[in-house]
Structure 1
């Protein structure tokens, strides 16, 4: 296990987002100095990743050891394909601009938030997905899915192939926990969040503070040019996850609907119809990362108790 510089100066794009807040806290607790970057940033670097010239002006004359890309434009769960278009663009143009800005600041390391859906949407059956055995960013089975997969594929290519930077991609499972699960609670309380029957389908999950610790591990111990799956050890269907949330918070169970009924929400329909078992063995072995919460039930129990 290679250990890199401690007490780094880090530029964190997306520091004010749900995930970014956890990442900033974890990095600070590990002894690093974090400067946030975002459109609404007040005490850091204020810039829009989609504005190349403005971004380069904003970082001019500043130095950072590592740059982290955890920026997002999503403010609520995407339901339709067009809900993802701004994210698709951010993954391509925004990443290219941030890589250029990282070089301008003299950074030597670039860590990017990625996602397991880059392996594709669909049913992987009992196959366990790994970084070395499964291609990332295969061509989508429809023009809409290809648009999303192109964004994920390109973001990783820009990260892992960035000249002069040690690029690392972290392929996260679905986030839940403080700041993430909160948005589901009022909808479950009002029974406004129906969920299709899982029918054996499962998805990979990761609690937000566990995911943030993986970022710290990648900053300190990640290998250049490598991607790591970051998921817990217990895949769980989407409806089964919502049932856990409802039980832990004493809320009504979500209504069960057939999968076909979600077709008018085509992006959500593609996610609901997917099933994927993903291994984080590489991250555990090379980064020394293990989830504090090996199952979503564990993380949700802790979250509910803390509230």
Structure 2
């Protein structure tokens, strides 16, 4: 479906940090966006985990495309259990939303996915592409719980009969609405970080992420996944140092990696090293990051907040 005409789009998670950027990008592209979520201000108020209530909420409505950007996260996850509600939402919530999409006559279903679906280990220097295995079995029960959620979310998206399913595998988010949480923790010196020792992760600025969704709505190929990340992978601590330097805040304390084990999910991220290629998204979606590196995006954020 390659068309530039205006579409009616149902956006699950519209009031979330990423959802707000997606809504703005879709609106700027000329589409009509209806938010779906539990909070006031959504055009369709429903909980994705409540199938019957969701189907009642969309009864009689029509949308061309449904975008799934809903998570259960209200702050950065530090422990494995902080991810449990999102893990469940990725499986049961996605199944319910696919059913709702069919009920509204939608033709296209675009879902938010994550690069950690490739795994949480050290992948070396070779950039991972969409042809690499996605959703391998986790090396322990906690990791398998998270990977199973990402694996099922994409499977449900691609296998939904009658829907053109597309998945965007995002890097770690930062930027307006996201970095502010980090600023608070750095100011209070509550965010220690181990040295990266050559480990890097993919990042993507939130307005860039929103534009990628808008591009996928129009130009994404059914049944395809796209990595969406900037061109400068950066270690977690290196990213925090950029934030601290840009905003004139104290540098995060350096701690040994083992000392972060009580923050079990954060420890897993600190231990990971992953590069991805976003060449497919740039080629097929016509998307390029306005901010090729975290430093570029953070400089723009600081300039915007200084105004």
**TM-score with structure 1 length normalisation?**
0.98
Counterpart in the other structure of 2:58: 59
Counterpart in the other structure of 2:265: 267
SS at match of 1:10: strand
Counterpart in the other structure of 2:8: 9
User: Does residue 51 of structure 2 align to residue 47 of structure 1?
Assistant: no
SS at match of 1:261: helix
Counterpart in the other structure of 1:150: 148
SS at match of 1:289: coil
Counterpart in the other structure of 1:306: 304
SS at match of 1:276: coil
Counterpart in the other structure of 1:127: 126
Partner Cα separation in structure 1 for residue 240 and residue 254 of structure 2: 11
Structure 2 unaligned blocks of 5 or more = none
| Cα shift readout 1:51-80 (whole Å, capped 9, x = no counterpart) | 000000000000000000000110111111
User: Does residue 72 of structure 2 align to residue 85 of structure 1?
Assistant: no
SS at match of 1:26: helix
Structure 1 unaligned blocks of 5 or more = none
| Cα shift readout 1:102-154 (whole Å, capped 9, x = no counterpart) | 0000000000000000000110011210001x100000000110011000000
Partner Cα separation in structure 2 for residue 152 and residue 253 of structure 1: 33
Deviation at 1:5, TM superposition (A): 5.0
SS at match of 1:229: strand
Partner Cα separation in structure 1 for residue 33 and residue 226 of structure 2: 23
SS at match of 1:25: helix
1:182 equivalent among 180, 183, 187: 180
Counterpart in the other structure of 1:97: 96
Partner Cα separation in structure 1 for residue 178 and residue 81 of structure 2: 22
User: Does residue 135 of structure 2 align to residue 137 of structure 1?
Assistant: yes
Partner Cα separation in structure 2 for residue 36 and residue 109 of structure 1: 16
Question: How large is the RMSD of aligned CA atoms in angstroms?
Answer: 0.8
SS at match of 1:123: coil
Counterpart in the other structure of 1:24: 23
The structure with the greater share of residues assigned to strand is 1
Counterpart in the other structure of 1:165: 163
Counterpart in the other structure of 1:212: 210
Q: Is the Cα–Cα contact under 8 Å of residues 4 and 219 in structure 1 kept in the other structure?
A: no
Deviation at 1:4, TM superposition (A): 2.6
SS at match of 1:256: coil
| Cα shift readout 1:16-47 (whole Å, capped 9, x = no counterpart) | 00010010011001000000000114340000
List structure 1 segments (4+ residues) > 3 angstroms apart after TM superposition. none
SS at match of 1:206: strand
Partner Cα separation in structure 2 for residue 160 and residue 233 of structure 1: 27
SS at match of 2:53: helix
Q: Is the Cα–Cα contact under 8 Å of residues 80 and 267 in structure 1 kept in the other structure?
A: yes
Partner Cα separation in structure 2 for residue 82 and residue 246 of structure 1: 28
Matched residue count: 305
SS at match of 2:127: strand
